[in-house]
Structures are given as C-alpha cells and as structure tokens.
Amino acid sequence: MIAPPQPPLERFAARLMRRSRFDDRDRAAFLALPAQPAQIRAHADFVRLGEHVDHACLVVDGLVARFGQNERGDRQIMAVHIPGDMPDLHSVVMSNTGSGLHALAATTLLRIPHEAIRDLTRSRPAVAEAFWRECVVDAAVLAEWVLNVGRRRALARTAHLLCEMAWRYGAAGTDRAFQFPITQEHLADMLALTAVHVNRTLKSLREDRVARTGRSMVQILDWDRLVEIGEFDPAYLEAGRELEPEASAACAA
C-alpha cells in the first residue's frame, strides 16, 4: 500500500526540513509514507474524546482543534493546527491522549498509519529526531497557552492568540490579514472565556483600531499595538529553527 509521493507530503517534508536536517534517503523514505486522504466537514469531531487511533493525520487544508472538556461539558481547545501541521503526531508514541480532534472549518486530511511512521523512525534516526522536535515545538506552544490562559486578562489573552495565529500564518504586520474561519464560540473555547466576553473583547480591539475580526478573516490594523497588548514574543514559535536563522525575522515588533 505504498502511495506515490503526494504534494501535501512534499510540503510537510519541506516544513520539517526547516527545523531538522534530512539527507536524500531520509527525504525519500519520508515521501514513501502511505497516506490516505480524508474530507472532514466543518464543526465535526473526527476523533472523539479518549478514542484510540491507529493513524496520525496531516492537515492539508482547513483548520483543526485539539480539545478536552470538563465534566460540565465546557470545552477547552488546547491547540489549533493549520495546514502543514500534524495535530496528533504524538499519538504515534502514545495512542490514548484523552483529547479529541475537531474540524473548525471544512478540512482535508491525510491519514498516515502509526505502523508506517514507527517503521520509518526506527530505520531513519534523522526522521525520528524531526518528529520528536515537532512534538516538542507543539509542547512549547502548549506551555505558552498555559501562561496565556493562566496569567493574562481577557484582552491580552485574546490579542496574544491573534498574534500567534498571525505569526504562524505568516501574516504578522500592520494592515495584513489572514483566513481564520472560526466562530466566537470557538475563540472562547481557545481562550477559556465565554462567547459573550470574547465578543466584548473583540469589540474593544475593533474600536481601538487594533484588529478587526470577521466571519472568516482577521485583519490586523496595528501590529505593534496588538503585540504590546498581547505581550507577544514569537521566540517560542521560532525556537526550533536552528537551520535558517535569518528567516522571517523581518516582521517582528
């Protein structure tokens, strides 16, 4: 069941190689990974809470959230994954994580069997290290979320999230915009606020001409102020990038 190299896998390989060094054989072995495409409709939970999975997925297009919930059913989104991310790469070495995956928008995935990934990492140490590093970068984002949710007020917290997403989409800067098709309810689940309070917070950012959020877009009107309000420092997102130190330092505050 070896599939021919697919463009999304090529893109992910390129992404991995920004942070980790692959030789030609690593790259070839990686691209030989079997992968099965899947379409997920918006607002579907495609991995339920606590479910065991035997494959990891790569986001080709769309937006995916990893979530948990308390006993009252209040959801908490713990991570957001954009195209090029693998939301549950961790499941390769720990198959039951107790969290679920939800499509925030219509999403295209590539499913890759755990078994194939394990075989690959056992034969190619550089690939194993790259996957390890991806998981560690995800954990660094998670750590920043603990800080954000725990020690920042609603306004700073919201601004910080917008900064993070803008940065990850490569859209950091004044008068830039990016696709972010989520409801205020979903934002609330990311920020550990209520939808009502998210609404008021976004209103404040809008009225102060800092950022404007719409149905499916976020427009940044004043990047510097957004960074200042959100206490944003992209170091935690860039830390894995020893390989191209010069890249994307241009739009920093």
Partner DNA sequence: CGCAGGTTTGAGAGGAGTCAAGGGTTGTGG
Partner DNA sequence: CCACAACCCTTGACTCCTCTCAAACCTGCG
User: Would you count residue 202 as binding DNA (CB under 7 A)?
Assistant: yes
CB of residue 213 to DNA, shortest distance in Å:
7
Q: Name which of residues 75 to 104 contact its own copies (CB under 8 A).
A: 75-76, 78-79, 90, 93-99
Which whole-number Å values give the CA distances from 47 to 44, 50, 54, 56, 57, in the listed order? 9, 8, 11, 11, 11
**Under 8 Å between Cβ of 77 and 190:** yes
Angle among Cα 190, 164, 127 to the nearest 5 degrees reads 100
Q: Which of 90, 43, 78, 36 is nearest to 62 (CA)?
A: 43
When binding is defined by CB under 8 A, the residue of 11, 111, 114, 133 that contacts its own copies is: 133
Contact partner at residue 202 from its own copies, DNA, none, CB < 5 to 8 Å by partner kind: DNA
Residue keyed to tokens 């800067």: 173
Region from 7-15, 104-112, 131-139, 149-157 binding DNA, contact rule CB under 7 A: 149-157
Helix (H) or strand (E) holding 179: strand 176-179
Tokens representing residue 130 in the block: 């790259």
Q: Which of 33, 39, 40, 77 is nearest to 55 (CA)?
A: 33
Region from 3-11, 37-45, 142-150, 206-214 binding its own copies, contact rule CB under 8 A: 142-150
**Under 8 Å between Cβ of 170 and 248:** yes
User: Would you count residue 151 as binding its own copies (CB under 8 A)?
Assistant: yes
CB of residue 74 to DNA, shortest distance in Å:
8
Contact partner at residue 138 from DNA, its own copies, none, CB < 5 to 8 Å by partner kind: its own copies
When binding is defined by CB under 8 A, the residue of 103, 137, 172, 227 that contacts its own copies is: 137
Q: Which of 207, 232, 235, 202 is nearest to 217 (CA)?
A: 202
**Binding-site ranges for DNA (CB under 7 A):** 43, 153-155, 183-185, 192-197, 199-200, 202-203, 215
**Binding-site ranges for its own copies (CB under 8 A):** 50, 66, 68-71, 74-76, 78-79, 90, 93-99, 118, 121-123, 125-126, 128-129, 131-133, 135-140, 142-147, 149-152, 156, 192, 231, 233, 235-236, 239-240, 242
